[in-house]
Structure 1
Amino acid sequence: MRIAIAGAGSVGRSIAGELIENGHQVMLIDRDPIAIRTHLIENAEWVLADACEVSSLEEAGVHTCDVMIACTGDDKVNLVVALLAKTEFAVDRVVGRVNDPRNEWLFTDAWGVDVSVSTPRIMAALVEEAVSVGDLVRLFTLRQGQANLVEVTLPKTTPLAGVPVRDLRLPRDCALVTILRGGSVIVPAPDIPLEPGDELLFVASTEVEDLLREALR
């Protein structure tokens, strides 16, 4: 897969490194000459250009990319890059980085964003996940808020201890994806009993999160 990344800062480079390790072709675009550090990721294609200019994106060959990741430190720039990638170059998948949570509502398909990633929200969710036991924690938002990946760690005194997965009374638009137990990832088969300390991962619509929280209590 060919992937363009607008923003060659530490975040963009980290993403590029991971993607290259996974076998993808990556092009890093940045308008700041200081950010063009080809020696850091030698297998990436580096482009010194303004990703907010159509001519620059055209010259870089963005139309040949399967994915555009707009991950600069400026939300305005990320929105412009996303919109250009989607409307001018018909990039199949556009990912937008949200730096300020107050701007998260803008990162929708109206601006060409297929998936928005809010760095502050993810960090807050990871902190909550690390310290919260017994309460539902939203880890990630999917499909522009239509569904969320949520997690709950069962406390030592959970009334669900010994209850098989089949007997969980989950609300509609909600599915148990996996159970993390110790160092194991468990597929939630119907006859598997729950245990205290289990981390349960669900995909659920926003509307049923309160119902899911009550079901787990």
Structure 2
Amino acid sequence: MRFVIIGAGRVGLRTARVLREEGHEVTVIERDERKADRARDQGFTVVVGDGSREALLEEAGISEADALGALTGDLNVNFTACMIGDHYGARTIMRIDEAYREGIYRKYADEVDEVIYPERLGAIGAKNALLGGTIRAIADIAQNLQIVELTITNGAPVNGYTISELQLPADATVLAFGKRGQPLEIPNEDLSLEDGDRLVVLADFEVLSDVRQLLVGENPDLAAANAGAGGVN
């Protein structure tokens, strides 16, 4: 596949490297000469200039690109570039840096396929390290929804239950299940929940505390504290 990445900063250049390592063709647009030189030194095709200009995007090959990643720290550049990319039929990904702006852009930028917030993704990783091995946040879906992976412990109230016997709060749903040491798969209602098994759950933040108590066996105070830290906003 062919990609155009706007911005050769920390986020953009790292994304470009990952895509190239997977065998994709990547062109980088960067207006800062120093950053552009760094990208060239790493073997990327670089177009120097403002990524929100259509002529520059055409020079970078937007008409043949499968997707455009507008990953600069400038929201106006990212938004404009995505509008142009959409016009050329490319999938568009726009970076934002301030969480409160996400709702605004999601509401008014239907042409943007995906909005990403790198600081949120980094915070999820930090939170996982803090929570330890039995609870892992996978993604924040919305202001009130999170996907988490929880590992059943010996102290969990549901240890020994089957999937069909598991009764989660109304605002929580099991998405996947994996026996200890095995890949995640669609839940089988007859499988039992045992120490080391994993459940992937979509849950409202309001019920995360209850979900943690059931599946991990946390005491109510700790579960409530962890659930309160659940949203990365």
Normalised to the residue count of structure 1, the TM-score between the two structures is 0.77
Find the aligned partners of 1:180 and 1:7 in 2 and give their Cα distance. Answer: 42
Moved more, 13-22 or 163-172: 163-172
In the TM superposition, residue 117 of structure 1 has moved relative to its aligned partner by: 1.6
Q: Do the aligned partners of 2:174 and 2:199 also contact (CA within 8 Å) in 1? A: no
Counterpart in the other structure of 1:25: 25
Counterpart in the other structure of 1:120: 119
Q: Do the aligned partners of 2:8 and 2:29 also contact (CA within 8 Å) in 1? A: yes
Distance 1:190 1:60, change over 3 A: same
* SS of 1:106 mapped into structure 2: helix
RMSD of Structure 2 on Structure 1 (CA): 3.2
Larger Rg: 2
In the TM superposition, residue 22 of structure 1 has moved relative to its aligned partner by: 0.8
* SS of 1:72 mapped into structure 2: coil
Find the aligned partners of 2:81 and 2:144 in 1 and give their Cα distance. Answer: 24
Q: Do the aligned partners of 1:133 and 1:155 also contact (CA within 8 Å) in 2? A: no
Structure 2 residues not aligned, in runs of 5+: 215-233
Structure 1 residues not aligned, in runs of 5+: none
Deviation per residue, 1:50-80 (Å, 9 max, x gap): 1111222123221211111111122232222
- Going by fraction, where is helix more abundant, 1 or 2? 2
Matches within 5 A, 1:36-51: 36=36, 37-42=38-43, 44-51=44-51
Normalised to the residue count of structure 2, the TM-score between the two structures is 0.73
Q: Do the aligned partners of 1:98 and 1:118 also contact (CA within 8 Å) in 2? A: yes
In the TM superposition, residue 198 of structure 1 has moved relative to its aligned partner by: 4.5
Find the aligned partners of 1:180 and 1:12 in 2 and give their Cα distance. Answer: 37
Give aligned pairs, total.
209
Moved more, 15-24 or 187-196: 187-196
Deviation per residue, 1:137-186 (Å, 9 max, x gap): 753245x88975333344552112122233333558844224484x6534
Moved more, 183-192 or 97-106: 183-192
Identity value in percent: 28
* SS of 1:185 mapped into structure 2: coil
Moved more, 26-35 or 69-78: 69-78
Find the aligned partners of 2:206 and 2:94 in 1 and give their Cα distance. Answer: 28
Q: Do the aligned partners of 1:134 and 1:155 also contact (CA within 8 Å) in 2? A: no
> What amino acid sits opposite 1:79 in the alignment?
F
Deviation per residue, 1:65-118 (Å, 9 max, x gap): 1111111122232222222211x3221x21122212122223327323211221
